Amino acid sequence: MLRLGVDVGGTFTDVVTVDQDGRVVTAKVPSTPQDSSAGVIAGWQALTVPATRVAMFAHGTTMATNTLLERRGGRTALVTTEGFRDIIEIGRQDRASLYDLTRHRPAPLVPRELRFVVRERMGPDGVVLPLDIDSLAAVVEAVAAADVEAVAVCLLFGFLHPEHERAVGDALRDRLPDVAVSMSCEVLPEFREYERMSTTVADAYLRPRLSAYLRRLEARSAAAGLPEPLVMQSSGGVADAETAARHPARFVLSGPAGGVVGASYVAGLSGFPNVLTFDMGGTSTDVAPVVGGQVQTTTDSVVAGVPLRLPMVDVHTVSAGGGSIAWADDGGALRVGPRSAGADPGPAGYGLGGDEPSVTDANLVLGYLPDGARLGGGLVLRGALAERALAGLGERLGLETRQAALGVVCVADTEMVRALRLISVQRGLDPREFALVAFGGAGGLHACALAEELGCRTVLVPRAAGVLSALGLAISEVRHDFVRPVLRTDPVGEGALVLEAEFTELEAAAQGDLDAPTTRRLADLRYAGQSFELTVPGSTAAELEHAFHAEHERRYGHRIDDEPVEIVNLRLVATVPGAKPDLREPEPAGDTAVGHREVLVDAGPVDAMVLDRTRMGRGSRVKGVAVVEFPESTCLVRPGWSGVVDAVGTLVLSRGEARDQGDESEPGDTSEPGDTSEPGDPHDHPEASR
């Protein structure tokens, strides 16, 4: 039986199947922006795999993210406590840009005329003012007259005492059975009314569009004989489609999360537990840290200007993808993005009608991509069209065509380096101690240049680099996240007993939701008087406090051991593991070199050897300058870089001469495949300083 993973991107839809023996089969087809579900089924059909062999179908989508970015969600109303209707607009005392007085926050998802209030008040200890039935009836009728598609309900202290929220929600559902209702006590039972309200509003705003899409996908899947789809959550685990339709705010980073899961797994097999993931697709680039083999998550995310206080993979996204449009601003400076050519019409080199220069066109003009190469879905790269598009940009910049193309790549690289520094240096992580995992259709083309800027000495390019997000989906675990608000400063004695009882209740809830899950305890802690928390793992109060001090020192450079520590929220992560393929790389199949091609790097034009990745195998070597052509992606090995294919199929590149490695190791053996360091250099291996 097979596990099927399908990742819908802005340009291509990637498909992977993994069987019980770990064999991986991949495909790539153009995305269908008008109805992504059609592209999902087309991708599965490209594999020619019978539906009867598919035991699990996992899906990742950027629809929720794009809905927030484009502000194309449902018409949404907000019901809150009297006197608090403008919290969602007031927000916090921060600025969109500290020194730019012309910059403003994005407009709230709910305009003021669609915010309604009921007369009630809950306090920390319970009811302060009973729910006024007349005001509730008036609000319900006002919402009905507003002709909305969704309603968010967020009352003061609803996270502790949800009785009034539930009464409001029940009244709205009785009167408006076809309108989606999201309540904060279900979406985010945590304190901080602004973040709780923002998250609940986003949940309601996304429900009409995402629910409609999932219904179409379920219908197409059923017609094809496929299992009911599971959907990747922002936290890095999958959940059923019903949960996704009911709480779409949990799935905003559905697409990028699959790539981080896949990259973490493959890098771990090669012996690299500490990596920075670099996923460059057609529309954007997603980067994230993996520390000690654990995908890093956060509960303080802002997506498209909307705060979302939900567990999410700590991903940062920039609009620098293969399809990002290059242009000259009014001052004559070269810019790349945020506009993208997308899947339709795509880069100029696709020959589908696009005429604006993109990053893909620049890579084609520079020789990194071959003229006439066939992409997924029958697309063929046409170098003459790409050169024509770059020539026009070069004229505006006063540059020769190939120099303009080199400039486009450099500008895109700068934007991506900035993103990688944000998720490493600004998180207290030294990128020199990490390997860079490059994937996505364009990741391998830029990886060595980015690693040089960051100081990374190792680049990993997995065998399935072009479709790694889909592989991550296929192997993902089922995951449910639980949270319980507490605010205690006595982590020992009576407080410890209370925490144990609370954790036990959360574990009982997890056992009811999932079949024999594995659970992991975490909590949000802070020093007394601080405004924000750090999430750390631990099973007891003492473990949590010890982990908090250590994490605070790593993140901020200091700790205060004699300061009281407050435990704010308890969290429980419950998972059911997915299939983990035992990847094994075969021996080389014949001559791996298929020719030479002139490429332009910053030092000038050079003659690069072109290698066919499908002919390479365990132990195959490469030395820059070279171009390695994968089935769904391409890797540029820059001057000074060399590498070898390890036992699990990952091309391990390092600066300087690589060691003899991987010939005698087995998949999962961390002693050889990942060790590309030279003796005596502690920065050449990501584990060296840990």
Q: What is the pLDDT of residues 451-476, one digit of tens each?
A: 999 999 999 999 999 899 999 999 99
Checking if the pLDDT of 664 tops 80, the result is no
Asked if 643 contacts 653 with a C-beta cutoff of 8 angstroms, the reply is yes
568: helix, strand or coil: strand
Neighbours of 591 (CB within 10 A): 9
Q: Given pLDDT bands bounded at 50, 70 and 90, which one contains residue 634? A: very high
297: helix, strand or coil: strand
Asked if 186 contacts 250 with a C-beta cutoff of 8 angstroms, the reply is no
Mean pLDDT of the chain: 88
Query: CA distances (Å), 505 to each of 161, 498, 515, 665, in order?
Result: 17, 11, 16, 45
pLDDT of 499 reads 87
Question: In this structure, what token pair is assigned to residue 204?
Answer: 């309601």
Report which residue type is found at 131. L
pLDDT of 492 reads 52
Checking if the pLDDT of 687 tops 70, the result is no
Q: Among 98-107, 201-210, 358-367, 660-669, which is the least confidently predicted range?
A: 660-669
* Measured distance CA(73)–CA(209) in Å, rounded: 6
> 28 or 682, which is more confident?
28
- CATH number given to 478-576: 3.30.1490
* Measured distance CA(596)–CA(562) in Å, rounded: 65
Residues 6+ apart with CB under 8 A from 96: 103, 104, 105
Q: Given pLDDT bands bounded at 50, 70 and 90, which one contains residue 495? A: low
Checking if the pLDDT of 76 tops 50, the result is yes
Checking if the pLDDT of 551 tops 90, the result is yes
Q: What is the enclosing helix (H) or strand (E) of 318?
A: strand 316-318
Q: Given pLDDT bands bounded at 50, 70 and 90, which one contains residue 490? A: low
Asked if 431 contacts 421 with a C-beta cutoff of 8 angstroms, the reply is yes
Asked if 263 contacts 272 with a C-beta cutoff of 8 angstroms, the reply is no
Q: Given pLDDT bands bounded at 50, 70 and 90, which one contains residue 435? A: very high
pLDDT of 494 reads 58
* Residue 587: Cβ-neighbour burial (10 angstroms; 0-12, 13-18, 19+): exposed
Asked if 63 contacts 209 with a C-beta cutoff of 8 angstroms, the reply is yes
**Model-level pTM?**
0.84
CA dihedral 459, 463, 468, 473 (to 10 degrees): -130
Q: What is the mean pLDDT of residues 292-315?
A: 90
- CATH number given to 75-212: 3.40.50
Q: Given pLDDT bands bounded at 50, 70 and 90, which one contains residue 119? A: very high
The ranges of the chain annotated as CATH 3.40.50 are 75-212
660: helix, strand or coil: coil
Closest CA to 106 of 255, 247, 302, 300: 302
Q: What is the mean pLDDT of residues 373-398?
A: 88
> 430 or 683, which is more confident?
430
CA dihedral 656, 414, 273, 632 (to 10 degrees): -90
Q: Which parts of 235-302 fold into alpha helices (H)?
A: 241-246, 254-269
Asked if 16 contacts 467 with a C-beta cutoff of 8 angstroms, the reply is yes
pLDDT of 597 reads 94
Query: CA distances (Å), 605 to each of 338, 389, 459, 608, in order?
Result: 29, 21, 23, 9
Checking if the pLDDT of 443 tops 70, the result is yes
DSSP secondary structure string for all residues of 520-561: EEEEEEEETT-SS-EEEE-SSHHHHHHHHHHHHHHHHS---T
Q: What is the mean pLDDT of residues 205-229?
A: 94
Question: In this structure, what token pair is assigned to residue 144?
Answer: 């009905």
The ranges of the chain annotated as CATH 3.30.1490 are 478-576
Report which residue type is found at 376. G
pLDDT digits (tens, 9 = 90+) for 2-48: 899 999 876 778 899 988 777 888 888 888 888 889 999 999 998 88
Neighbours of 329 (CB within 10 A): 8
pLDDT digits (tens, 9 = 90+) for 603-632: 789 999 999 999 999 999 999 799 999 988
Residue 572 is given by DSSP the state E
Q: What is the mean pLDDT of residues 528-532?
A: 87
Checking if the pLDDT of 157 tops 90, the result is yes
